[in-house]
Structure 1
Amino acid sequence: MREFGLPALYEVPSDGNLTDLIRRNAAQYPDVAVMGRKVAGTWTDVTATQFLAEVRTVAKGLIAAGVRPGDRVALMSRTRYEWVQFDFAIWTAGAVTVPVYETSSAEQVQWILGDSGAVAAIVESGEHVATVESVRGRLPGLRDVWQLDAETPGEGAVARLTAAGAEIPDATVDERAASAKADDPATIVYTSGTTGRPKGCLLTHRAFFAEAGNAVERLKPLFRTSECSILLFLPAAHVFGRLIEVAAVMAPVKLGCVPDIKNLTDELASFQPTLILGVPRVFEKVYNGARAKAQADGKGRIFDRAAHTAIAYSRALSTPRGPSLGLRIRHTVFDRLVYRKLRAVLGGRAEHAISGGAALGERLGHFYRGIGFTVLEGYGLTESCAATSFNPWDRQKIGTVGQPMPGTVIRIADDGEVLLHGDHLFTGYWNNPEATAEALADGWFHTGDIGTLDEDGYLTITGRKKEILVTAGGKNVAPAVIEDRIRAHALVAECMVVGDGRPFVGALITLDEEFLGRWAKEHGKPAASTAATLRLDPELLAEVQRAVDEGNAAVSKAESVRKFRVLTSQFTEDAGHITPSLKLKRNVVAKDFADEIEAIYQG
């Protein structure tokens, strides 16, 4: 058993709640832009004073509608300014926010709203309204549904609640805003449900104070008021997005919100954030897209040499002697030719990013640091209010998920499971005492993840306890290690390792549709080539085999993938194969692709 912890850098208030932050900002930084808001395609600043006023206006409407302290209010929308506004308005009304992914099915909406006992819901679109209405007969506690983007002028959620709350006195809002205490629930965030029905994690105001406060203090240079800014494109319904929301308000730094990554390059160029938050797939796509463009322009060899130099340079930074003179010269040359352009794609001002949700991969981590854009990898769960460890900006160890967040203790149990202790943890699962007792045992949260701690307290995650495969030969295999390496290849969209009870390890692989078209063109394949037409193509299979070989390099021979199958379709959220946070639902994939798995082991 090994254990490592760091003292807290932030003193959690003994009382109070998250609405104290926006009142403090308006008092101390009245004219500082704390939000960026897109209006008619142009970013406009929202000051601390203005944001507080807009939050209180909506909170008055919620109070007028009968929302009481402790009531649960659902929030179903893409990431946008109004998400943050309504989140703080719900808290200002003394209520509890229940985030719902905007892609959720009617069954998922019914479960979350019904299980949480939500009395009201704010949704984004008419489609969302229809989804809620389709299950409303099974939600007796749901009274009101407000739509953000109503087709009729004056009927949108903000306008309707503003009008409804016009007669609510300021004193009433002040009283409601102060009603929640530090140990009261701020939100119920439902887990992704990879192995069953989603469970509602109760996260208190104290948990967010401890989480965001210590993160901001440890990453202080990245959260300088009036100098720094963050562009949030992750789902705000995910706990990682919520952490960034609260951390930005706590600092405070300007926060901009965009709904997705479809036009991410343009959004980064217009907002020019100093800090970017993402998941590994975002950083993989930036790299693969830049490499593909270089190859299309006849500069593929230059890009590959530049990438090799960046990785070597970053690796050398971790050695006592540092980069050699020759390496420094090559790095300087490629900075002018390649690296500056890549940094410009990322907005031009950002020097750091924070990555979570899955393993980034050592090679990609070194590549980005080598081009002058450091991606700080972290680790956490919904139950830990997002990050429980992260790489500090001044002492990064690429390949790990960093040290415990200040105020947090990480313990590795005798069986390798990662256990957590700290104020940032959830207090239990809503309406599920059995699951709570199982997860929170002896004062420690049992994550279900397997990991190791080095002598400096840096954590490495090696897999999920429940996802460990045991082959017919008795070999334990952690799928994530191989999958992350295979998925880093530009052609691969998703990978799922199989082999439980089987004679050897195999894999199901889906192809990245965007990159497949480029690959097909470069290799003289028909213009209309798809995964279905190319899945047996010898050249494509050889390329996928190279990705598999890269994954196998990280494990022993007994753990390596012996055979794989390229699928003709994708793992999708609609089909139930992946969660909104892009985690594989292995049992669903195994069921839907049972024939493909059997084919791996035939003959």
Structure 2
Amino acid sequence: MIQEKLIPYLVDSIKNYWDLPAFTDYPGKASTYADVGKRMMWLHRLFEASKLGKGGKVALVGKNSGNWASLYFSTITYGGSIVPILINFSPEEMTYIINHSDAQILFISRDKFDSIDPEQLRRVQHIFSLDDFTLLYSHNESLFKTIKPLQETADLHNLRPEEMKVKDVCDNEDTAAIIYTSGTTGFSKGVMLPHRSLLANLIVAREMLLFKEGAKVLAFLPLAHAYACSFDLLYPFTRGNHINFMDKLPAPKVLLGAMQDLKPNVVLAVPLLIEKIFKRQIQPTIEKPAMKVMLKIPGVKSLIGKKIRDSLLTAFGGSLTELVVGGAPMNAEVELFMKKIRFPVTIGYGMTECGPLISYCRWFEHRFESSGKLVKYIKCKIDSPDPVKIPGEVLIAGEQVFTGYYKNDEATADTIKRGWLYTGDIGTLDKDKFIYLKGRSKNVILGPSGENIYPELVEQKLDNLPYVMEALVLERDRRLHALIYPDLEALDKEQIPESRIPQLMEENRMEVNKSLADFSRIAKIQIVNEPFQKTPTQKIKRYLYS
């Protein structure tokens, strides 16, 4: 059982780093930890005027920003439950989540406020702008007549760290956040994360991630997702880091430009971003005929590898000690190349229901095709007669595990059984507690003689072929079909006409089938004209195409 408490941990972080820069809406001005502390105390007064009680729900809709982060910490330290909502949800989905969560207060960016109808929000009493915290809508505006803007509140304006007193009203089983997932199945459920789950992730990060105190952090993944929220916000906040927020997932060129400016030492990313950098900047070079020959010469091969690694490290700002990839499977070919040149990349595994971390290890300890090693507090077993060799469903227990789905006892009972969280992921676990994932149980396709086909592994092979941007493998008429979105930029660069795409993709089909078992070979290719729709961690929403 974890003895530490989350609220004192967060408040002490503000006091300890009072004069250091805390948040920047990149590339804007920085606000200090003192500014965050004063804003927190002001928001607590706002909550009190709103008659928000312990465990009261505060919904939050908006892009990554310092205000987003300030509201997140203020709600939790007040004793409320924060309900962060992804901005790519439709207005109808947002309305459903706000209502289902029983949110009493809503903070929303003005551009999103214009798309919802306040009269449809059943329990919401007050709506505030996330942009400047002004009141947008209320059932009782008179409650806030005594609340002056922060800049006009003299006692907070002159607040000193030793005067900042926040009562810890929560225990570790109280709900800190309710996160509504945007998964690949299309059904959104409210994951209740207790204080202990966030604390467990925080303690693991403190012992393993080793962000330099006061270092700059670049937060570009959506904070409404557990992965980014825990490791781009919660943990670095407790290290006195200067967190720079980008309001959307940037294109590789924009991201690398920000890296040059901020020079972060640890970066969190999703595989798709790294795979795009590999495909655009590395693959064209190493596949040139002359380069292929040189890469076969041992001494020359190591020199070329070092040059590519140094070039990549420079592109990431020159101070990178580790690139942590998570949220989706990593392409095996890209991973293998990064290992060969000893680029400091590692792969972790988690899920929202664990807040999120399940497995991780430092890059120099990472094993090829694994998703890292089970972290502190996590227990795991594989539902298989031979967990090392025969894949089975991954079952998890430990401090990180959520308490259940909000107002959905049936889904909770289907997921937590006899004290174990049934993840829906299929994998193996070696004797050293490294986990190897094969795919999702609901995605597994049965071959003609009952063989298990993991479409994600076939997709990885397709993604490595020329002129393929991304692929999706499905079962249709008892055969495997591959939907492919072509790499239009590569085709344009080589001046290949659109009329040749079907022929090129058929050649790719024949090529990939050479490396596949007969029961998992692709029968047909279908070319799609738009990128596949994805979750915030860039996993394809498969249900839209089945």
TM over 0.5: yes
1:562 to 511, 520, 523: 523
2:489 to 517, 534, 542: 517
**Residue correspondence of structure 1 range 470-509 to structure 2 within 5 A:** 470-489=446-465, 491-499=467-475, 502-509=477-484
Inter-partner Cα distance in structure 2 for 1:561 and 1:197: 29
Is residue 2:402 matched to residue 1:426?
yes
Structure 1 residue 445 displacement after superposition: 0.5
Structure 1 residue 399 displacement after superposition: 0.9
Aligned partners of 1:377 and 1:390 also within 8 Å: yes
Inter-partner Cα distance in structure 2 for 1:378 and 1:65: 40
**What do the CA deviations read for 1:333-364 (whole angstroms, capped 9, x no partner)?**
5534x433322222221131111111113321
Equivalent residue number for residue 281 of structure 1: 272
1:30 to 12, 15, 18: 18
2:125 maps to amino acid: R
Please tell me the root mean square deviation across aligned C-alpha atoms, in Å: 3.2
Structure 1 residue 167 displacement after superposition: 9.0
Inter-partner Cα distance in structure 2 for 1:139 and 1:439: 29
Inter-partner Cα distance in structure 2 for 1:362 and 1:419: 24
**What is the TM-score normalised by the length of structure 1?**
0.79
Inter-partner Cα distance in structure 2 for 1:90 and 1:403: 33
**Residue correspondence of structure 1 range 434-449 to structure 2 within 5 A:** 434-449=410-425
Structure 1 residue 486 displacement after superposition: 2.3
Inter-partner Cα distance in structure 2 for 1:77 and 1:188: 16
Equivalent residue number for residue 543 of structure 2: 587
Equivalent residue number for residue 389 of structure 2: none
Inter-partner Cα distance in structure 1 for 2:493 and 2:195: 53
Equivalent residue number for residue 250 of structure 1: 238
Structure 1 residue 490 displacement after superposition: 6.7
**What is the TM-score normalised by the length of structure 2?**
0.86
SS at match of 2:149: helix
Inter-partner Cα distance in structure 2 for 1:84 and 1:328: 49
Is residue 2:122 matched to residue 1:147?
no
1:253 maps to amino acid: N
Structure 1 residue 392 displacement after superposition: 2.9
SS at match of 1:426: coil
Equivalent residue number for residue 78 of structure 2: 93
Equivalent residue number for residue 257 of structure 2: 266
Judging changes above 3 Å, is the alpha-carbon distance between structure 1 residues 174 and 442 closer, same or farther for their aligned structure 2 residues?
farther
Structure 1 residue 545 displacement after superposition: 5.5
Inter-partner Cα distance in structure 1 for 2:374 and 2:485: 35
Equivalent residue number for residue 59 of structure 1: 44
Judging changes above 3 Å, is the alpha-carbon distance between structure 1 residues 107 and 571 closer, same or farther for their aligned structure 2 residues?
same
1:331 maps to amino acid: S
Equivalent residue number for residue 597 of structure 1: none
Structure 1 residue 509 displacement after superposition: 1.5
Aligned partners of 1:79 and 1:235 also within 8 Å: yes
2:191 maps to amino acid: C
**Residue correspondence of structure 1 range 3-42 to structure 2 within 5 A:** 12-14=2-4, 16-17=5-6, 19-33=7-21, 35-38=22-25, 41-42=27-28
Inter-partner Cα distance in structure 2 for 1:167 and 1:492: 60
Aligned partners of 1:192 and 1:581 also within 8 Å: no
1:542 to 482, 500, 507: 507
SS at match of 1:446: strand
**Residue correspondence of structure 1 range 113-132 to structure 2 within 5 A:** 113-126=98-111, 128-132=112-116
Equivalent residue number for residue 331 of structure 1: 302
State the percentage of identical aligned residues.
Answer: 24
Structure 1 residue 45 displacement after superposition: 4.5
1:48 to 12, 33, 51: 33
1:363 to 307, 318, 333: 333
Structure 1 residue 124 displacement after superposition: 2.2
**What do the CA deviations read for 1:91-133 (whole angstroms, capped 9, x no partner)?**
233211101111110221122111101112212232x002222
Inter-partner Cα distance in structure 2 for 1:89 and 1:367: 43
Inter-partner Cα distance in structure 2 for 1:118 and 1:96: 9
Equivalent residue number for residue 596 of structure 1: none
Judging changes above 3 Å, is the alpha-carbon distance between structure 1 residues 274 and 193 closer, same or farther for their aligned structure 2 residues?
closer
Structure 1: 5+ residue stretches without partners: 1-10, 310-325, 573-577, 591-603
Judging changes above 3 Å, is the alpha-carbon distance between structure 1 residues 362 and 583 closer, same or farther for their aligned structure 2 residues?
closer
